[in-house]
Structure 1
Amino acid sequence: MTKLAPAPDPVRSPRPGGVGPARRRRGRDSALPYLMIAPAAIVLLVILGYPIVRLAVLSFQKYDSRSLFTGESPFVFLDNYVEVLGDPEFWMVLWRTFAVTLLCVSLLMVIGFLLAQLLLRVSGWARLTLTICLVLVWAMPMVAAALIWQWLFQPQYGVVNWMLTQVGVFGDLRAHDWFSDPVQALALITLLIVWKGLPFVVLTMYAALGQIPSSMYEAAGLDGANAVDTVRHITIPMMRPVLAILIVLEVIWSVNSFTPFWVLTQGGPSGQTTTLAVYSYTTAFSANDYGGGAAISMITVGLLAAFAVFYVRRQVKQVDVR
């Protein structure tokens, strides 16, 4: 007796020339994440995209004080970039920015890691007190923090000068001007940037450390690993994605720091505390060379974007290899 073949499932069998319900469902599921982030992406594109495009266009124009009255800003293409890159002062400012950024990020990562470890080991009330202090520092506007810093190190009435004079180790510092020396001024500005950026680094690292299973440390202890070994082979590898994000963000924020430099020294003395952010501002608004200032800003954006892409790809490759 011949058996009849089972009838095709009308629900699952695709129609001739069409797409089955399962494939359509998969298509909707794959598009759902993009639809959910689309509103935020559009807002960011409008808010951030337009200024960057306008800045890029301005960097190819000759826009100076004359253009403000005549409205004429002819395109000079790469002339602004050639002039900026051919200026020896730009390269001095670039190396100074690199040195300050390297010092700031290094101090932030080391001190932030130590404070995050401290948060894990102190009692509950001490952890709460330290967290509140960090949040208050984070919430303080940078302008207010820079003005307080300026008052603390003021030559005649500064609290720091008075305290150091009372100690007597460094002699009479009641009339010492910290900001007249470029090395001392850069050191104080670096400390201000680190102090202001520590809360974000500490709280982020503390959250990351709390996600590492304690069983891994227990197993390492049974194998005879010491504190340095556990940090090197467990803590740092487990925190690698968070550390990568923190380093990229802190590099961007340190390079773009403008307020502490401008409030405390305005790039002085004799331009020896000028960084890329201050250099771009003074070129545009002090020298009235808006095209040149835009070119400096675009070079800064390009350098930061190249660093971010290179560093993130390098970290991803290291994770894939391991």
Structure 2
Amino acid sequence: MSAADTHATEPVTGGRPLAPPPAAHRSAVPGRGRTGRRTRQSRSLPYLLITPALVIMAGVLGYPLVDTVVLSFQDERRGNLWLHTSPPWVGFDQYTSVLTDSEFWHVVLRTFLFVAGCVFFTMVLGLLVALLMQRVSDWVRLMMTSVMITVWAMPLLVSSSIFKFMFDSDYGLVDQLLTRLPGVDYTGHNWFLNPTSGLTIIAILVIWGAIPFIAISLYSALTQVPKELEEAARIDGARGIGIFRFVTFPVIKPVFVMTTTLSVIWDFGVLGQILLMRNNLPEQDYQLLGLYAYVQAFTVNSFSRSAAISIITVLLLSCFSIYYLRQLLKIGEVE
């Protein structure tokens, strides 16, 4: 075949042979398919690595939650546990009984007031301590951090025993110090006869134990505030509270919101402090939601009613957590 015949059989455009189709060109490039497979594998690798952790979390957290939900629709008593018999299904009767009980709503109101007070003073005092840590010398900051870590690591039994001794009616340090004041006699004063003062002491114990985590977390956030922004604000005439409100706080707001959410969740679950401060026999006026569910299960022996109270508490906390998570997402969108 001549050269002329060869050129005649090839499609030409403007005197040049047409390029091969894109698909054929891609398949002809060596290693392109292997590169695509490597990319897909690299994308799926993180999910494969966290799969064992997700499976363990589903077993440790998911199964008890599902079992609690199922239990709340039954009527399980101690007799069912002893005789190994299946409890009867009662539908929403447990929820109806709980939600129509005036005592439950008194406990809810008491819990909200207790949590609101604890969270407010925890966040305010924790923020003040964090600001103080930012302004002291390095060795003072190191000493403050060491003390707070010690407080944070202290077992609940030890800290509750210390506070119980401090407010003891016979040998309490607080009563002795107040009695030394002119015209004040607190000899033998029992702080726990009045539920308001008793819950206030328990709230002080909760706040005292929570401040270290809040203060250290907020101090870490304060170290990320650019010094240039604060100096620019001072040049523009801002002072003190104005700098903190318009410059510092917007930077640390995500951490502040996160720690506030955690504080609410932890304070809703306060149980051990009340049991230890009241010798495992707390009066009815000391019951918060966590203790109320505990009493229903192990004193009244109504495990299903306790499960229903726990589910209602989880729903209340979920509504609060969703609100604060939305605030965090809004902050992220703004940034």
- Please confirm whether the aligned pair reaches a TM-score higher than 0.5, indicating the same fold: yes
What is the match of residue 105 of structure 1? 119
TM-score scaled by length of structure 1: 0.92
Q: CA–CA distance in 2 between the matches of 1:12 and 1:260?
A: 72
* Aligned partner of 1:158 among 161, 164, 172: 172
What secondary structure is seen at the aligned counterpart in 2 of 1:13?
helix
What is the match of residue 249 of structure 2? 236
Tell me whether 1:248 sits opposite 2:261 in the alignment. Answer: yes
The CA deviation at 1:69 is 2.5
Tell me whether 1:288 sits opposite 2:301 in the alignment. Answer: yes
What is the match of residue 89 of structure 1? 103
Tell me whether 1:148 sits opposite 2:162 in the alignment. Answer: yes
TM-score scaled by length of structure 2: 0.88
What is the match of residue 258 of structure 1? 271
Aligned partner letter, 1:317? K
What is the match of residue 153 of structure 2? 139
Q: CA–CA distance in 1 between the matches of 2:39 and 2:251?
A: 33
Aligned partner letter, 2:272? T
* Aligned partner of 1:203 among 210, 216, 223: 216
| Number of equivalenced pairs | 318
Question: What are structure 1's unaligned runs of at least 5 residues?
Answer: none
Tell me whether 1:79 sits opposite 2:93 in the alignment. Answer: yes
* Aligned partner of 2:228 among 209, 215, 218: 215
The CA deviation at 1:20 is 4.8
C-alpha change, 1:230 and 1:24, in structure 2 (3 Å) is: farther
Q: Is the 8 A contact 2:169 2:191 kept in 1?
A: yes
C-alpha change, 1:182 and 1:310, in structure 2 (3 Å) is: same
Q: Is the 8 A contact 1:182 1:268 kept in 2?
A: no
Of 269-278 and 86-95, the range deviating more from structure 2 = 269-278
Aligned partner letter, 1:231? F
What is the match of residue 11 of structure 2? none
Q: Mark the structure with the bigger radius of gyration.
A: 2
Q: CA–CA distance in 1 between the matches of 2:262 and 2:289?
A: 17
Q: Is the 8 A contact 1:14 1:21 kept in 2?
A: no
Of 247-256 and 67-76, the range deviating more from structure 2 = 67-76
C-alpha change, 1:257 and 1:186, in structure 2 (3 Å) is: same
Q: CA–CA distance in 2 between the matches of 1:99 and 1:178?
A: 19
Q: CA–CA distance in 1 between the matches of 2:125 and 2:280?
A: 27
What is the match of residue 141 of structure 2? 127
Q: Is the 8 A contact 2:107 2:292 kept in 1?
A: yes
Of 47-56 and 62-71, the range deviating more from structure 2 = 62-71
What secondary structure is seen at the aligned counterpart in 2 of 1:66?
helix
Q: Is the 8 A contact 2:151 2:209 kept in 1?
A: yes
Map 1:27-46 onto structure 2 (within 5 A).
27-46=40-59
C-alpha change, 1:125 and 1:20, in structure 2 (3 Å) is: same
Per-residue deviation, residues 67-121 of structure 1 (Å, max 9, x unmatched): 1223231111211111111110100000111111111111111111110011111
Per-residue deviation, residues 4-56 of structure 1 (Å, max 9, x unmatched): 456689998158xxx95555444334323322322222222211111111111
What is the match of residue 298 of structure 1? 311
The CA deviation at 1:274 is 0.8
C-alpha change, 1:209 and 1:180, in structure 2 (3 Å) is: same
Q: CA–CA distance in 1 between the matches of 2:282 and 2:35?
A: 70
Q: CA–CA distance in 2 between the matches of 1:12 and 1:93?
A: 73
C-alpha change, 1:21 and 1:9, in structure 2 (3 Å) is: farther
* Percentage of identical aligned residues: 36
Per-residue deviation, residues 184-207 of structure 1 (Å, max 9, x unmatched): 011111111000011110000010
Q: CA–CA distance in 2 between the matches of 1:138 and 1:255?
A: 18
Per-residue deviation, residues 149-194 of structure 1 (Å, max 9, x unmatched): 111100001111111112335x221200001111101111111100
Q: CA–CA distance in 2 between the matches of 1:268 and 1:39?
A: 42
Q: Is the 8 A contact 1:157 1:174 kept in 2?
A: no
What secondary structure is seen at the aligned counterpart in 1 of 2:188?
coil
Q: Is the 8 A contact 2:254 2:331 kept in 1?
A: no
Aligned partner letter, 2:290? A
